[in-house]
Amino acid sequence: MTFSLKYCAAWRRCLALLLLIPALAFAGAEPTAGKKLKIGVTLHPYYSFVANIVGDRAEVIPLIAAEANPHNYQPQTDDITRAMSLDALVVNGIGHDEWAFEIVKAAGRRENLPIIYANASVALIPIGGDQEGAKVVNPHTFVSTTAAIQQVFEIARRLGELDPSNAEAYRHNALAYAGRIRALRARFMTRFAEMDLSTFRCATTHAGYDYLMQEFGLFVSAVIEPRHGVAPTARQLANTIDAIKKANVKVLFAEKYFSMDLAKPIEAATGVKIFSLSHITGNTYSADEFEVAMRENLETLAAAVEYTQQ
């Protein structure tokens, strides 16, 4: 009888502990109930993507200052401080924001900060027009409508995993946002369908527009910069000029606000006409920046094709 009483007492204590575990777990989660996620982003387009996905259900926090040039960026103390407060970070992850991983490491967040790789589902392409013919992955997937939509859905999916209570809203918002991007692309697809694109050839100051060109079946014959932000040597510049002449290139796309110093000598040597495209790296972060910039890019691209057909 004594054994039975001891057994019953032990069983009751075990049962009490089992019942207590869910209560403790719930109590631990309770302080974060209703708290908005703080989602970091590395590039301007990702601010637009995430802002449209989350609406007012999460906070979007740029990892670096809006006016900073993300190419060859050097991490700052404020960046590290921001990284310490994030619940997740959206990155390009294929060569355009390697500095972000230095910031995460310096903030001591390598083990506990969820990283969302926006390009996890994107079909990547190599840089076109490279003088050395190197098969280097082109990281500029955000200067595109098709790849942008793929990234939007990937980001929404991962955010839904991290924030299940808002997953349905994120999916709904992503679908609506993707619908607007598709509608933008469709308008220009119709416009391009009326043009003869078979003989169109162009050069670019750097390899930031290959995904955009690919969407409309356009070909990049030459890229002036061997790598973004790296000025070509005299020999490389001469090779580029020669390639432009041989390919009968009539159009050169320069990066808006940045690469006119490179474009002007090419224009003088070859007679090409310069058009400016946005790299979507502005001075402010906004939810509509991507749509505004891509609409301008597509207008410019259409104007360039029309110019070659005159």
> Which residues lie closer than 8 Å to 102 by C-beta, 6 or more apart?
75
Residue 29's pLDDT is 29
- Whether the Cβ atoms of residue 285 and residue 258 lie closer than 8 Å to each other: no
- Rounded Cα distance, 190 and 198, in Å: 16
Q: Which of 167-176, 236-245, 300-309 has the lowest mean pLDDT?
A: 236-245
The three-state secondary structure class of 283 is coil
Q: Is the pLDDT of residue 5 over 50?
A: no
Sign of CA dihedral 241, 245, 246, 248: positive
Please state, in angstroms and as integers, the Cα–Cα distance from residue 111 to each residue in 27, 101, 106, 300, following that order: 24, 12, 12, 44
The CATH architecture assigned to 34-183 reads: 3-Layer(aba) Sandwich (3.40)
Report the CATH fold assignment for 193-308.
Rossmann fold (3.40.50)
Residue 104's pLDDT is 98
Q: Is the pLDDT of residue 99 over 90?
A: yes
Residue pLDDT, tens place only, 254-309: 988 766 777 888 999 999 999 999 999 877 999 999 999 999 999 999 999 999 99
> Across residues 158-168, what is the average pLDDT?
97
Domain boundaries, the chain: 34-183, 193-308
More confident of the two residues 70 and 40: 40
- Rounded Cα distance, 13 and 23, in Å: 16
Burial of 56 (0-12, 13-18, 19+ CB in 10 A): exposed
Residue 293's pLDDT is 96
Q: Is the pLDDT of residue 124 over 60?
A: yes
Predicted confidence band at 30 (pLDDT cuts at 50, 70, 90)? very low
Q: Is the pLDDT of residue 16 over 80?
A: no
End-to-end CA, the chain: 104
Predicted confidence band at 22 (pLDDT cuts at 50, 70, 90)? very low
- Rounded Cα distance, 285 and 47, in Å: 6
Residue pLDDT, tens place only, 174-221: 999 999 999 999 999 999 999 999 889 999 988 889 999 999 999 888
Percent of the chain with pLDDT over 90: 68
For residue 130, what is the enclosing H or E element?
A: none
Q: Do domains 34-183 and 193-308 have the same CATH topology?
A: yes
Residue 134's pLDDT is 61
Residue 27's pLDDT is 32
Percent of the chain with pLDDT over 70: 85
Q: Is the pLDDT of residue 67 over 60?
A: yes
Residue 106's pLDDT is 98
Residue 33's pLDDT is 60
- Rounded Cα distance, 232 and 226, in Å: 6
Question: Ramachandran region of residue 95, left (φ > 0), alpha (ψ -120 to 50) or beta?
Answer: left
Q: Is the pLDDT of residue 6 over 50?
A: no
> Across residues 91-100, what is the average pLDDT?
96
pTM score, two decimals?
0.86
The tokens for 39 are 């989602």
Q: Look over the chain and give the mean of its residue pLDDT values, rounded to a whole number.
A: 87
The tokens for 237 are 């510049």
Any idea which residue has 């991490």 for tokens?
A: 75
Q: Is the pLDDT of residue 11 over 50?
A: no
- Whether the Cβ atoms of residue 67 and residue 76 lie closer than 8 Å to each other: no
Q: How many CB atoms lie within 10 A of CB 19?
A: 9
- Whether the Cβ atoms of residue 36 and residue 194 lie closer than 8 Å to each other: no
- Whether the Cβ atoms of residue 140 and residue 96 lie closer than 8 Å to each other: yes
Provide the Cα torsion 162, 165, 167, 168; round to 10°.
Answer: 180
The three-state secondary structure class of 142 is coil
Whole-angstrom Cα Rg for the chain: 25
